[in-house]
Amino acid sequence: MLTAGRERLYLRRFYDRHAFNPEAIGPADLDRYADDFSAAGAMRAGFEIYRAFDQDVIDNRAKLERSGKLQVPVLALGGEASFFPSTAAEMVGEFVEQVQTAAIPRCGHWIPEENPKALIEHIMQFTGRS
């Protein structure tokens, strides 16, 4: 009820709050996202990701007990202006045997929008295609 009819306003604030460069998600992008999130049930579905965190912890720990750590190499990226780079190795390392982490420069939470070139470079290097 708090966001119905105000999706654009909510999303702009949400994107800006977690961005290094708020202009990376421009007006046309925001229009598209606001249109999509204006559909019946869309905002609720988006909020469900956060409501599920507690259950995710339970499910992930149960999977870890059953199967052990993931054995394939994992690349964990976070924007240097976000919280993630300082905790990535520890967080992901709980569930993954081989984790490589990197902080993407000039970037907050929205890596593909804020620094797509650096994102692609890290993926290419990680996959051996650089």
Is residue 77 located within the same domain as residue 126?
Answer: yes
Give every CB contact of residue 86 below 8 A, 6+ residues apart in sequence: none
- Domain assignment present for residue 78? The answer is yes
- The candidate with the shortest Cα–Cα distance to 82, out of 21, 12, 19, 15, is 19
For the chain, the domain total comes to 2
Q: 7: Cβ–Cβ under 8 A, 6 or more apart, which residues? A: 34, 37, 38, 43
Q: What is the mean pLDDT of residues 106-121?
A: 97
* Assigned domain for 97 exists: yes
| Angle formed at CA 60 by CA 124 and CA 75, multiple of 5 degrees | 10
Task: Tell me the pLDDT tens digit for each residue of 32-54.
Answer: 999 999 999 999 999 999 999 99
pLDDT digits (tens, 9 = 90+) for 70-110: 999 999 999 999 989 889 999 999 999 999 999 999 999 99
- Asked if residue 108 belongs to a domain, the reply is yes
pLDDT of residue 61: 95
In a domain, 98, yes or no: yes
> Are both 47 and 93 inside the same structural domain?
no
Residues 78 and 42 in one domain: no
